[in-house]
Structure 1
Amino acid sequence: MGNNDGDGINRRHALECMIWAGTGVLWTVAGGVPKSLSLLDDVEAAEAAKSGFTFLQISDSHVGFNKPANPHAIETLKEAIGRIDALPEKPAFLLHTGDITHSAKPVEFDDANEIIGSTRVNVHYVPGEHDITDQATENAYLERYGKGVKGGGWYSFDQHGVHFIGLNNVVNLKKFGLGFLGDEQLKWLEDDLRALSSSTPIVVFAHIPLWSIYPNWGWGTDDAAVALGYLKRFGSVTILNGHIHQLMQKVEGDVTFHTARSTAFPQPAPGEALSPGPMVVPADKLRGMLGLTSVTFKKNKSPLAIIDTSLAD
């Protein structure tokens, strides 16, 4: 089996479909294959909101961060929330995929709640590793955001015919900081999915990606294969994550994996630095590497549109 098959390389490239930080892009997913339509503008945003039910993802706000990569992270979070307030059609809800805070301090959570809560849009949270640093902060997180959740903070809900699943993969991290779900959560996930029809659209959201992007940096989840095994019978699965602070997308069969930008600071592309962490970029480039994600679902139709908007757009 040689590696000089051009078509094979192209197919693998299409399958990987990794997108680095840039301006907002409208994605439509048909038959499990994402297609870039155009750069987002206000007219497209309004039409997308009217054509189906829309929700937003925000991630890695890191309230409390004030290092050189972005000394004003709380201000860029406010900018992102301002974008939501300015939308012509309000989203059904907001998903926050973790690292709400930078060091799990009560005052950081208070500031985040005040800013994010100003949208008056319902918010569904999952924790990041900066939100749960030990047993005490895990308990504090669950006191704030744990109403109605199972175990260590996992839960599901249904809206507009879509089944949403929030997972916690930031406790008991494995080698290099790889995410971990654990047997209790995986058993709950299997039970949660059992009664659903295979035609039910599924959206899973968690902090650390459920696919192996760069394990040496902890950019993956140790036992994700078990969870993905439970999901493989469904015809439409979208998995939304944060943690890596940049846009990357991958399609495997009927599963689309999509990571979001941070609202606080960028991180380097996998392997392009000695380690992950806040990346200093020129001030005039920073907002182009921060942003939020909008998803539009059209009932009884494929496609599902994923729109990534940077703060510079």
Structure 2
Amino acid sequence: MPDHESPDEPGRTSRRGALECMIWAGTGLLWSLEGGLPSAVGLTRALAADKPAAPFTFLQISDSHVGFNKPANPDALGTLREAVARIRQLPEKPAFIIHTGDISHLSKDREFDDADQILRETGLPLFFVPGEHDLLDDERGRSYLDRYGKGSRGAGWYSFDRQGVHFIGLVNVVDLKAGGLGNLGADQLDWLERDVAGLASSTPVVVFAHIPLWTVYPEWGWGTQDGARVLATLKRFGSVTVLNGHIHQIIQKVEGNVAFHTARSTAFPQPAPGTAPSPGPMKVPAGELRGVLGITSVSLVRGSEPLAIIDTPLAG
């Protein structure tokens, strides 16, 4: 199991609906589960909250790109350190952290070492899935798997249970072609079907992978070519939340009982789909980086109605 403590035994939780509010933070995303259903609480709000956090929370971080030092953010390690400092100030600690890939920028041992040192300052269990930048070594991701893939299958996929919620970490960045869509492959998809076969349809499911599992912008490779099979496998479940990174910005949608969310990077922004010749690190004017890595509040309405989003800059 790719964390550092044994996961809790799955429990039974009544489905009472999700929290009314979700807040997104560019430097991290605090997820809370109430009645077994995930919603998000931004770090800024969580730090200022008078009331204790919900009984079960977890944190999402994505696209740290440790080792990146170009003009879009000359100190990617520093902004990751800033995110971790916020986590450590939370009055109620989350149960664990999910990192949705691109921990490193070039898969160098030094980059992984630096990321590990900072992330472990949280004192929390850590779960990872790789991004394409984590699999650039000559041994098809051996450096990543040796560090983060213990107990996983194949290229690093796995599942675990907490508080009656089933978590599934998928890998869609193996043999990724430049500008090409992500792919999962038959072996992983067959494993997924077996993994969820024994679960009751009332079990809340959280899926996390690096590249979005739905097609955000195919011209830039922002999607997963066989992601539809994942959604078909999970169609029978009443609550499915899909968490991704890769595109360094928040895009969300809801299809039936499936809610899709992409997270901002802790390193640098990327342009909105189609607004630039190609994706890549986007430089913003001096002093505005943390404004781009802002906070987005999302109100979740019970049922299948769409989410309402309000963006607030982190530096505002």
TM-score of Structure 1 vs Structure 2, range by shorter chain: 0.7 to 0.9
Q: Which residue is equivalent to 1:12?
A: none
Q: Which residue is equivalent to 1:251?
A: 254
Mark the CA change 1:179 to 1:124 in structure 2 (over 3 Å): closer, same or farther: same
The answer (yes or no) to whether the contact 1:261–1:292 under 8 Å persists in 2 is no
1:41 aligns with 2:40: no
Q: Which residue is equivalent to 1:213?
A: 216
Measured in 1, the distance between the counterparts of 2:225 and 2:234 equals 17
Any gaps of 5 or more consecutive residues in structure 2? 1-22
Measured in 1, the distance between the counterparts of 2:277 and 2:25 equals 20
Q: CA deviation at 1:136?
A: 1.4
1:224 aligns with 2:227: yes
The answer (yes or no) to whether the contact 1:156–1:163 under 8 Å persists in 2 is yes
Greater RCO, CA 8 A, separation 6+? 1
Q: SS of the residue aligned with 2:139?
A: helix
Q: Which residue is equivalent to 1:66?
A: 69
Measured in 1, the distance between the counterparts of 2:214 and 2:143 equals 29
Measured in 1, the distance between the counterparts of 2:169 and 2:297 equals 17
* Superimposed CA distance per residue, residues 163-219 of structure 1 (whole angstroms, 9 cap, x where no aligned partner): 000011000225732110000000000000100000000000000000100011010
Q: Which residue is equivalent to 1:7?
A: none
Larger helix fraction of residues = 1
Q: Which residue is equivalent to 1:83?
A: 86
Partner residue of 2:132 out of 129, 140, 144: 129
Amino acid at match of 1:161: G
Mark the CA change 1:43 to 1:174 in structure 2 (over 3 Å): closer, same or farther: closer
TM-score normalised by the chain length of structure 2: 0.80
Q: CA deviation at 1:46?
A: 5.5
* Superimposed CA distance per residue, residues 77-115 of structure 1 (whole angstroms, 9 cap, x where no aligned partner): 100000100101000000000000000000000000001
Any gaps of 5 or more consecutive residues in structure 1? 1-18, 296-300
Alignment of 1:1-313 (within 5 A): 41-42=45-46, 45=49, 47=51, 50-173=53-176, 176-290=179-293, 311-312=314-315
Measured in 1, the distance between the counterparts of 2:202 and 2:310 equals 24
Q: CA deviation at 1:35?
A: 10
TM-score normalised by the chain length of structure 1: 0.81
Amino acid at match of 2:86: R
Q: SS of the residue aligned with 1:51?
A: coil
The answer (yes or no) to whether the contact 1:104–1:130 under 8 Å persists in 2 is yes
Mark the CA change 1:45 to 1:23 in structure 2 (over 3 Å): closer, same or farther: farther
Mark the CA change 1:119 to 1:22 in structure 2 (over 3 Å): closer, same or farther: closer
Measured in 2, the distance between the counterparts of 1:124 and 1:60 equals 14
Measured in 2, the distance between the counterparts of 1:205 and 1:23 equals 18
Mark the CA change 1:62 to 1:91 in structure 2 (over 3 Å): closer, same or farther: same
Q: SS of the residue aligned with 2:57?
A: strand
Amino acid at match of 1:194: A
Mark the CA change 1:122 to 1:280 in structure 2 (over 3 Å): closer, same or farther: same
Mark the CA change 1:174 to 1:193 in structure 2 (over 3 Å): closer, same or farther: farther
Measured in 2, the distance between the counterparts of 1:37 and 1:117 equals 21
Amino acid at match of 1:235: G
Q: RMSD over aligned Cα, in angstroms? A: 3.8
Mark the CA change 1:309 to 1:98 in structure 2 (over 3 Å): closer, same or farther: farther
Measured in 2, the distance between the counterparts of 1:145 and 1:42 equals 28
